[in-house]
Amino acid sequence: MTRRSSSVTIRDVARQAGVSVATVSRYINQNVPVSPEVAERLEKVLTRLRYVPHAAARHLASRKTRVVGLLLNNLHNDFFVPLLNGVESVIREKGYNLIVATYHANSRDYAQPPIGPHNTDGLLVFADGLMDDDLVNLHNSGFPMILIYRKSPPSLPIPSITVENLEATQKLVDHLIKVHNKKRILFLRGPIHQEDSIKRELGYRNALECNGIAFDENLVLNGDFERDVAYQAMDRFLGNGRRVAFDAVFSGDDDAAIGALEALQQHGLKVPEEIAVIGFDDLGFAPFLNPPLTTVRAPTETVGRMAAERLFAILENQPANESTVILPTEIIYRRSCGCPY
């Protein structure tokens, strides 16, 4: 009677096929060719014994998991849908699996990241998903990585894919000032550690300065790129009896813009008649808000796809491209800023 496959070892296969264990391993892992005669003999023995290689053992032997990791700091908003779509399209085409995990590198709880060299072949790291020290250590160990929505730490050539933030933000805020005569523009700031958030705030400040408008810290609230956080910040601001005058809101991203619009509506303020609102990203819902949202169109899905393609170029030992790619963005004018379209 044939034994169950779970009890059959690679040594059993080698003995019955009359070859070495190393030859069986080479045939199973397909990393070194064997002769057609040996391959045929091994295939018959493997079938008869119903031998199934242990996946973990194969991975250890080949040092390949056929898994790619995507490390995020949260999954709380709609921004990640097109990003994941872009990544997954390449992963699927390559026949790999994708592990998505969240990790709060800034929490200082010293927990190890849930994904990395121990369970993936390479890693896509979003924004501040890892601290610089972690990136240095992984890079020095030779582990394949691509950074998304942030540049590599100084003197560390980790490839990265991001979008243009500063110039687009400055042009859009400038549009509020020059076209719609807005002078008191409230800013819903994103996460303070994220490069996108920093660049967008700098664009906001540059636009004010270029138009002779003083920066007012009282007009800066924490939106954190999340609609609930933005809503609560705006609600508190508008409910304050000492309300600071403002005539427009620049929300650091479209998700936060939803929270801002809801708070403004609940407090009886009309958009754009009384308060103009602008966002960033041009997520799928932006044209369908009431009013439709003026924003900056960022190629989020393309970022995900390009990041995954560059990671596989490393995994497949292809020639490296330039270290940092900055994709262009485009301003999309709609009614929320006061434009008639």
- Topology agreement, domain 67-162+300-327 and domain 166-298+331-337: yes
CA–CA separation, 185 and 194 (whole Å): 22
3-state DSSP percent of the chain in helix, strand and coil, to 5: 45, 15, 40
Tell me which residue of 147, 143, 203 sits closest to 170, measured CA to CA: 203
Token pair in block for residue 289: 């808000």
Do β-strands 295-297 and 330-332 pair in parallel, antiparallel, or remain unpaired?
antiparallel
Which strands make up the sheet holding 97-102, listed edge to edge? 97-102, 67-72, 122-126, 145-148, 160-163, 324-327
Question: Domain 5-62 in CATH: superfamily?
Answer: lambda repressor-like DNA-binding domains (1.10.260.40)
Question: Domain 166-298+331-337 in CATH: superfamily?
Answer: Response regulator (3.40.50.2300)
Write down the domain spans for the chain.
5-62, 67-162+300-327, 166-298+331-337
Task: Give the per-residue pLDDT at 26.
Answer: 75
pLDDT block averages, 10 residues each, the chain of length 341: 57 89 76 76 80 54 80 88 96 95 71 84 93 87 93 89 98 98 97 94 98 97 96 93 85 97 96 98 96 98 97 88 89 97 80
Residue 276, phi then psi, degrees to nearest 5: -80, 150
Concatenate the DSSP letters of all residues of 125-176 into one string: EETTSS-HHHHHHHHHTT--EEEESSPPPTT----EEEE--HHHHHHHHHHH
Task: Give the per-residue pLDDT at 50.
Answer: 72
33 Cβ contact list (under 8 Å, min separation 6):
26
Task: Give the per-residue pLDDT at 32.
Answer: 63
The domain made up of 67-162+300-327 has a fold known as Rossmann fold (3.40.50)
The amino acid occupying position 198 is I
Task: Give the per-residue pLDDT at 73.
Answer: 86
